[in-house]
Amino acid sequence: MAETSNTADFEAFYRRNCKYVYRLCFSYMSSKEEAEDITEDLFVKVLSEGIRFNDENHERKWLTIAAANMCKNRLKSWEYNKVRLFEEADENIARTDSVYDDTLDVILKLPEKYKTVILMHYYMGYKTDEIAGMIKKPAATVRWRLMRAKNMLRKLLTVNSSDDVN
């Protein structure tokens, strides 16, 4: 009964478990879009890998563990956190429109590794040790990148301001 080998079986399996998996994913992710993505990914995995279950109890246990693990992996991933980080930076910048100037435009043009630490440190208020933990680099590397980024910005902003004078 709980076998997912043919289309009718899979549809029944999906209907039986879709809402449960979505609610579980939503409880981890707190985002409708993320919960929908992970729910879809989980059912695609079951279908594409031909996963079979002994019974509905085994099915529910497997789905619970698999969904929780997929959510935890997404939450730990740097890409997920980087997207959230830049969304948060955008919100902070939007709240302080009066502070917006050419500096932000120049920061956004920096190489990714420098732009990330500048935004996290100066726009979001994270300490270097916190940034190090998030990007999984030593704190010394974060401090080095901040120093390099500030030097790059100083040069770029000096060039931009001298262009304005001419």
Q: Residue 32: CB partners within 8 Å, gap ≥ 6?
A: 26
- Express each pLDDT in 101-141 by its tens digit: 567 778 878 888 888 888 878 877 788 888 888 888 899 99
- Express each pLDDT in 63-95 by its tens digit: 999 999 998 888 777 666 666 666 666 565 555
DSSP state of 122: I
For residue 88, the model assigns a pLDDT of 63
Question: Would you identify the CATH topology of the domain 79-165?
Answer: Arc Repressor Mutant, subunit A (1.10.10)
The tokens describing 95, both together, are 């709240």
For residue 99, the model assigns a pLDDT of 46
Q: State yes or no: pLDDT of 100 exceeds 70.
A: no
Domain ranges of the chain: 7-76, 79-165
- Express each pLDDT in 137-155 by its tens digit: 899 999 999 999 999 988 8
Between residues 50 and 125, the one the model is more confident about: 50
Helix (H) or strand (E) holding 28: helix 7-29
CB of 67 closer than 8 Å to CB of 60? no
How far is it, in rounded angstroms, from Cα 132 to Cα 139?
Answer: 5
Between residues 31 and 123, the one the model is more confident about: 31
Out of 15-24, 83-92, 151-160, pick the least confident.
83-92
For residue 18, the model assigns a pLDDT of 93
Q: State yes or no: pLDDT of 38 exceeds 80.
A: yes
pTM: 0.49
Q: State yes or no: pLDDT of 164 exceeds 80.
A: no
For residue 4, the model assigns a pLDDT of 42
Q: State yes or no: pLDDT of 37 exceeds 80.
A: yes
User: According to CATH, what is the number of the domain 7-76?
Assistant: 1.10.1740.10
